[in-house]
Amino acid sequence: MTIRRLIHVAAITAMALFVTAASASTITWNSNTGSAYVSTSGGTITGGGLVLESNGGTSSEITFTPNVASTNAPPSNVDFGDFLLTCNSCGTATFGAFTFDLVIDDTTDGAFGTFVGTSTGGTVTATSSTISISWLPLQLGPGTSNASSGNFGPTEFEVPNLTLIVAPNSGTPQGDTSIQGVLTSTLVPEPATLAMSGLALIGLAALARKRRK
């Protein structure tokens, strides 16, 4: 194979790597809240499952706002949505145990997956909260791994194993807790891979110049 031919092949290979990177450069997804709250031991569900009211003591609420129509370039940190804990007179409010389904709609790959959060409930005052949510699974994708339907392709959504609901006087804005996760894709070449491809092209070009001389 001639040097010219080698350069041509290397250029095609490098271009394929960059095209692969571009094809996974952005992932469009949203948080689906069709089955947000499911109380397992008391508590009142309102607002289509987006608001959980306390079932003991003073009045308090936990609401959830999903992150909709979000586009991210993997790898990146993502915000799946926000819990907001509020109370009125803020004496001591009690929440029973509940579960929370966070459904991820990966519109780029055409897949759905569900992170299931479970909580034993807890008590809330103006300055404190003992409520936490544990998540399973911790990862959706790649492919059909933990997919409810469809195929995540090379995309992976990860969620922390524990979310602590902050007190009504904490967070920004106050009482706000975001569900922070990670979005990655196996199609994005590592920087070292791209660097090696570039060096290979430079080396072949140098050989071609030397042969012409």
Cβ atoms of 130 and 147 closer than 8 Å? no
How do residues 88-147 score in pLDDT, each as one tens digit? 888 999 998 988 888 999 999 999 999 999 999 999 999 999 999 999 999 999 999 999
Residues 21 and 37 in one domain: no
Q: What is the pLDDT of residues 28-53, one digit of tens each?
A: 999 876 555 666 666 677 666 678 88
The dihedral built from the CA positions of residue 145, 148, 149 and 153, taken in this order, carries a sign that is: negative
Pair (192, 182) in one structural domain: no
Residues 6 and 38 in one domain: no
CA-nearest of 98, 110, 208, 112 to 163 is: 98
pTM listed for this prediction: 0.75
162 with 138, same domain: the answer is yes
Co-location of 7 and 97 in the same domain: no
Query: 107 and 36, same structural domain?
Result: yes
Question: Domain range spanning residue 1?
Answer: 1-25+188-213
Q: Are residues 166 and 143 in the same domain?
A: yes
Assess whether 107 and 68 both reside in one domain: yes
What DSSP line would sit under 148-172, residue for residue? EEE--TTEEEE--SEEEPPPTTSTT
Say yes or no: 149 and 180 in one domain: yes
- 134, 179, 160, 127 alpha-carbon torsion, rounded to 10°: -60
* Domain shared by 108 and 16, yes or no: no
